[in-house]
Structure 1
């Protein structure tokens, strides 16, 4: 679930690149628009679960949307991760406080803020000097993901 109005769609691009590397065909029917909120994650998951061949895993654009996805899945009587695995992004506090604890991608937000400040100062001094900086991320494996169910 992603929201294309947010920036240039980097999270969707990353999702597509991950699928490509894994040899999995991109299916636009499996992408549901959202607004980085719990409510939009719930609504997007409802749409995905209504598909004739619903997904066995959901990668949400952020942890709030992932929490909404878990609620939508459970309200249908399905289990996380038994029927559907859920992964979020950002490793916000909600990821550790919901049940099951959310698998998510942690970003070094403090370092990102510091680097953004450095690049901003460079760009102020010389308009051509600012640059895109890549920072490391880490997958935080928790209980919301598991093997795909047999179909």
Structure 2
């Protein structure tokens, strides 16, 4: 890591520090609202720790594959079983309602494309509400970028 400090002459509405999933999600959401955005990253590559983890998401009822037979009720039952005394009904319901909408938002407003990962099952596939062989998991396709950090293509897993 060098000490490359540069003056930024053009003002922006939003500055995002870090290019992991949270940072880039913030940047896409701000840009979709018409705001100008600059993402600052200290490393030579974008992605943060999300790039190391692969960025796999657990999104029940995600609508990427119409053949998937999932339900909000089953996912809620699974989460209640897994969370036990830490179950927060309002947050769980917001997550289950908003997760599929979030996937659609990012595919509509960015170059991201998600694919289902049927090889992953819920962590406890025999628990109430679980889906063995799951299809609740989504993986963003790997993006190749050019020297201007613009997407050039996606790579299917």
Q: Same fold (TM over 0.5)?
A: no
Larger relative helix fraction? 1
Larger Rg: 2
Task: Decide which structure has greater strand share.
Answer: 2
The TM-score, its normalising length taken from structure 1, stands at 0.29
